[in-house]
Structure 1
Amino acid sequence: MSSKKRVLVGLDLTEEASQVLDKAAEIGKAFDAELDLIHVIEPLTFAYGGDIPMDLSEVQEQLQKQASEQLRKAGEQLGVDADHQHVVLGQPATEIHRLAKEQDTDLIIIGSHGRHGLSLLLGSTANGVLHGAGCDVLAVRVKE
């Protein structure tokens, strides 16, 4: 593996995310790399098709607040400054690609659940990130 100076770590903030954080810490230390953390929240209108007759902005704000707090804790664990913690709204693979390009990232680290069958056909965030990335991608197999 060539030198990796800038690493973007995509987190879903589940309990299994600690496995991805452990691998990111290991790689960051081995390469003396700068780490950025990202969590992408899909807009609720994407999830529900925009046909809900109610204002979801308050729920969306609460989700972003909770995600920011969880990402802050993950950042503290790895020694990642707040400037390098990103909670963004959008489609996960697209936003990870965008930030990786903006940050001139050398490596993206994401978790993979290794799904099979129908969920594999429908695609996963890990698969989407892998197939559109302009840099290396490390998919960490997470055990549930």
Structure 2
Amino acid sequence: MNHYQNILLAIDFSDYGHYVAQRAKQLVDQFSAHLHIIHVLDNIPMPDTPYGLVIPLDEDSSYDLLEAEKNKLKQISDQLDIAPTRRWMVWGEPQQEITQLATQQHIDLIVVGSHGRHGLAVLMGSTAKGVLYHADCDVLAIHLKEH
């Protein structure tokens, strides 16, 4: 088995994000890999913005919700010691943007949280499930148990 060299952490800023991030960091340390991070904006309105738009992290905007999301990504990235050149925020559909970035950046492993929901949530699909089926690399879905 080849060692992972580039690991992509797909983060959603949920209450479980810290747990998923720590699992990704453990893998990075184990394989001496580079850690990349992506956050896909799909939960805040982005007026007149097409899907697939990469949000510049080093430019200020007048949009408070966007700046709050950028600050969250910066804080997590700084805690995990992720280089600014390996941080992405994209407006779009999570599964598509995550898998597309993984291909572009030659990612070996995508780490994503999964709530393991049943019933209607499974029929509607989840980000983890979509990434698993569409990624060209390995995917590690960290099972998140609700307490």
TM-score (norm 2): 0.83
Match of 1:142 among 128, 141, 144: 144
Partner of 1:19: 19
- Tell whether 2:119 aligns with 1:120: no
Match of 1:62 among 45, 61, 64: 64
Measure the CA separation in 2 of the matches of 1:13 and 1:19: 11
Q: Unaligned 5+ residue runs, structure 1?
A: 46-59
Pairwise CA distance, 1:62: 2.9
Q: Percent identity?
A: 38
Q: Which runs of 4+ in 1 moved over 4 A?
A: none
Q: Deviations over 1:71-104 (max 9, x none)?
A: 1111111111222111110100000011101100
Partner of 1:77: 79
Pairwise CA distance, 1:143: 2.6
> Matched residue pairs, number?
131
* Letter aligned with residue 79 of structure 2: Q
Q: Please report the RMSD computed on the Cα atoms of aligned residues, expressed in angstroms.
A: 1.8
* Letter aligned with residue 44 of structure 1: P
TM-score (norm 1): 0.85
Measure the CA separation in 1 of the matches of 2:143 and 2:2: 22
Q: Which has the higher mean CA deviation after the structures are superposed, 75-84 or 123-132?
A: 75-84
Q: Deviations over 1:17-75 (max 9, x none)?
A: 01110100100000001011000012637xxxxxxxxxxxxxx9333211111111111
Partner of 1:130: 132
Going from structure 1 to structure 2, the CA distance change for 1:97 and 1:76 (only over 3 Å counts) comes to same
